[in-house]
Amino acid sequence: MSGQKFGKGAVFALVIAHCSGMLDLIALPVWVGALVERFGFSPQQAGGLATLFLLGAVAASAIAAHRFNRFNQRVVAASGFALAALSFFLASTQTGFVPLAVLHLTAGISVGAALSMVHGTMGHASNPHRLFATAGLAIGLLGIILLGAIPQLLISRGGPAMFQVFGGVMTVAAVSCAIFFRNPVSAEAETLPTFGRATWFTIFGISVMTFNQSMVFSFVEVIGKSRGFDPSHVLGVLIALGIVNFVLPAPLATVLQNRVPATMVVQVGPAVQAVLALIVTGATAFVFWAPAAAIFVAVQIFTHTFAFGLLARLDPSGRAVAATPATLMIGAALGPIVGGALGENLGFSALGIAAVLVATISIGFFTKARTADQSFPTP
C-alpha cells in the first residue's frame, strides 16, 4: 500500500521521530569527542560505545522491519523512544565503560525498533521522497542547535550533560508519537512478496556509504584538534556543518526530485563523499579542511533522500524503508570503531584512503542495482 495522505499532526510526529532516531547522524563528533575528553576513554573505546548503540539499532530494526505490517506502529514507536530516553538519562549518572556499554546497547535497540516504525510509515506517504526531505530539513535544524549547544553544556556542566540532552530529545519523540502518530494502512503480511535484487543492492549501497560517513565524521572534531586548529574554530566548523545540513541537502533534493535521475545521484554521491573524506583526513591547512568538513554530512543526507524514494517505489509494502535504521546503522555501527582503530594505529590520514576504497564498493552496489532489474524505477 502506498500513496496515503497524512495530516499535519502525523507528519509532525514522523519528522520529530526521524530527527530523534537519526541523532547519531549529526551528533557523532561531539558524542565520540565527549567520551574521549570528558570520560577519559581512548578513541577506540569511545568508538566502541557508539558502535554498541548502532549495533543495537541495527539488530532491532532488522527484526522490526520484517514484521512492520504485523505491529501496532504507534505503540512500538512511542514506547521505543521512551525506553531510549530512560537509557540516556541513566547513562548521565554513570562513568564506567561497562554500565555505559549496556545503556548504549539498550538505547540503540529501543531507537532501532521505534525508527523502523517511523520510516516504514513514511514509505506509505503519497510522496516519500518529499517527506524524507522534509525530515532531513528538520534534522539539519536540530543539528545547528545540538552542535552549538552541547559543546557549551559540556564545558559548563560536564560529560553527563550530553546524555541528558539525548534523553530530552528522545522524550520529545516519545510524546510526539504517543499523541500524533497515525498507523498506515498496511498490506496483509501473508501477501507480501520478497525483496528483488534491485532492492537488496540499493540497501547494500547506502549501507556501505553510511559506513564511510560514520568512519570519517565520528572523528572530525578529533582530527581538527590533532591538526592544531584552534578548538573554537573547530567548533565553528561543526556549527557551520549544522547550518549547511539545514539549508542545502533537503531543499536541493526536493527541487531536483523530478529533474535529476535518482540512479545517477546514488552513484555520484559516494564518489563526492570520498573526495571530501580525503580532504578532511589529509588537509593540514584550515582553509581547505573547514569547507570539506562543513559539507561532508550534507552529501550523505542528499544521496539518501533519493535512495529512500527509490526503495519506497521498489517495495510499496514499506518494509524496505522500515529497514532504513538497519540499512544506515549497520554501516554507521562499524564506522566509529574502525575509524578509531585506523586513527590510533595508522594515523587519521589512513581514513581517507579507506574511504576511497569503500566508496568504490558502494558505487558498485548502486550500479548493480540499476542493472539487476529492468523495472528499476527512475524519475
- State the number of CA atoms in the 13 A half-sphere of 376 facing the CB: 20
Mean pLDDT throughout 179-186? 84
CB atoms within 10 A of CB 243: 16
Domain 8-183+195-372: which topology?
Growth Hormone; Chain: A; (1.20.1250)
Residue spans of the domains in the chain: they are 8-183+195-372
Displacement of CA 269 from its chain's centroid (Å): 15
Q: Please tell me the number of Cα atoms within 13 Å of 256 on its side-chain side.
A: 16
For 53, 55, 120, the CA distances from 366, given in Å and listed in that order, are: 27, 24, 22
Helices 286-314 & 262-282 angle (0-180, nearest 10): 150
Q: What is the pLDDT of residue 171?
A: 97
Instruction: Encode pLDDT of 281-336 as tens digits.
Output: 998 899 999 999 999 989 998 998 898 888 888 877 778 888 888 887 787 778 87
CB 131 within 8 A of CB 303: no
Closest by CA position to 216, among listed 137, 150, 278: 278
Q: How confident is the model at residue 86 (pLDDT cuts 50, 70, 90)?
A: very high
Query: Is the confidence at residue 29, as pLDDT, over 80?
Result: no
pTM reported for the whole predicted model: 0.81
Taking only Cα atoms into account, the Rg of the chain, rounded to an integer number of angstroms, comes to: 19
Q: How far is CA 221 from CA 249, 265, 351, in A?
A: 22, 28, 14
**Confidence at residue 190, expressed as pLDDT on a 0 to 100 scale:** 47
248 confidence band (pLDDT: 50, 70, 90): confident
Average pLDDT over residues 94-112: 95
